A = this chain, B = another copy of it.
Amino acid sequence: MTPGPGDLDALRRRIDAADRRLIELLAERRDLVAEVGRFKTDHGTPVYVPEREAALLEARRAEAAAAGVSADLVEDLLRRIMRESYRAEGRHGFRCVLDDPAPVAIVGGAGAMGRLLGDHFTRSGYEVRVLDADDWPRVDDLLRDAGLVLVSVPIHDTVSVVRRLGPHLPPGAVLADITSRKAGPLDAMLAAHQGPVRALHPMFGPTVGTLAKQVVVDCGGRDPDASGWLLDQFAVWGARTVAVAAPEHDRAMAVVQALRHFTTFCYGVHLAGEDVDLATILSISSPIYRLELAMTGRLFAQDASLYADIIFDSTEGLALAERYLARLQDAVALYRAGDREGFRRRFRETRDWFGPLAATFLAESDTLLAQARDRIDHI
């Protein structure tokens, strides 16, 4: 017998009841995670333990498959739930990796990144002192007995601020910076300070809710043993450090930041110049174009000066941009000539250069685009 409309309502009520039990389950899990968080704070276990996460996911995937439930579905859900857990675990504070921590002075500590890191140090039991533009008359007081002096100021101020700090630094303090250029600031730190030095670049912005799974690039400096605790402290917060030499880091950043932001800037200026009809475009866009548009538009919601600094302060950025322009001119010449065969040849050469990563990127972005589509409402 074919069920009637009443049956659909009954089925939907049962689905709603199942979803309510999901919420109960999440509340129960949240309480368990809070206990884990308290335990980790007391014992100093890192927030993010890759092996535990991998083992948990593998076991649940197998159980899902055995129950006829999509293993990918279960993995996606658990990854999303764990993100919430990482945030929750930090609520009770973090372990301090030092037995007797000296104060941490953050130069530029009132800025967004300075506040984020200051908050993490405070929640880990460090005394945090902020040295901002107005505080130079008190610099000796603020740096007295400091174990770490962390420079968190705009890119184009970093070298001058480091020089100005030099005479005031306690000899044994670790001097570190978090600027997105590394060679110049590292040289300046080594010149300004005779004690331990560490050049870092956190690969995240101040709006991340948790440092779990974030990357901090470590370009070294002087006397690494004396500042090893700083990397350990980042590990407790869930971040990992990747060691890369400063010049190599700067070359990579010219591509990742300067050139990419520059081309995104040009694309946004072009859309505005064409005065394209965004409403029509959004109404008919596939998730992929909406995402690409969002990746362009998000730049312009941010600070013009920050992006001016990232682009104009890059040592290799201009040369990269000039060569990009030359390649675009070549490609437009192909287009003008209607040379499809030339286009396809360069397309295939570029595919060969990407190698197996092209297919990896396709699969990876497909997963994300499916997530983007989950969020689309017709209303």
Tell whether, in the assembled complex, residue A16 and residue B59 are in contact, meaning their CB atoms are under 8 Å apart: yes
Report the minimal beta-carbon distance from A106 to chain B, rounded to whole angstroms: 22
Tell whether, in the assembled complex, residue A26 and residue B74 are in contact, meaning their CB atoms are under 8 Å apart: yes
Tell whether, in the assembled complex, residue A379 and residue B248 are in contact, meaning their CB atoms are under 8 Å apart: no
Question: Which of these binds chain B: A92-100, A119-127, A305-313?
Answer: A305-313
- Beta-carbon contacts under 8 Å, A86-138 to B: none
> Known contacts being A273-B323, A325-B328, is A374 close to B292, with CB within 8 Å?
no
Question: Which of these binds chain B: A142-150, A161-169, A188-196, A353-361?
Answer: A353-361
| B contact residues around A151 at 8 Å (CB) | none
A: number of interface residues (CB 8 Å)? 166
- Beta-carbon contacts under 8 Å, A53-78 to B: 53-54, 56, 59-60, 63-64, 67-70, 73-74, 76-78
| B contact residues around A22 at 8 Å (CB) | 22, 25, 74, 77-78
Q: How far is the CA of A53 from the CA of B255 in the complex (A)?
A: 42
Q: Which residue of B82, B271, B294, B302 contacts A374 across the interface (Cβ within 8 Å)?
A: B82
Quick check: is A315 within 8 A (CB to CB) of the other chain? no
Q: How far is the CA of A141 from the CA of B206 in the complex (A)?
A: 66
| B contact residues around A223 at 8 Å (CB) | none
Report the minimal beta-carbon distance from A316 to chain B, rounded to whole angstroms: 10
Report the minimal beta-carbon distance from A322 to chain B, rounded to whole angstroms: 6
Quick check: is A289 within 8 A (CB to CB) of the other chain? yes
> Known contacts being A69-B23, A325-B328, A327-B266, is A284 close to B249, with CB within 8 Å?
yes
* A279 nearest in chain B by CB position: B357
Interface centre among A209, A267, A301 (most CB of B within 10 A): A301
> Known contacts being A50-B378, A323-B270, is A285 close to B298, with CB within 8 Å?
no
Tell whether, in the assembled complex, residue B308 and residue A347 are in contact, meaning their CB atoms are under 8 Å apart: yes
- Beta-carbon contacts under 8 Å, A20-47 to B: 20-30, 32-33, 35-36, 38-39, 42-43, 45
9 closest Cβ pairs, A-B complex? A297-B361, A272-B353, A301-B358, A301-B362, A294-B361, A79-B374, A300-B351, A304-B347, A298-B362
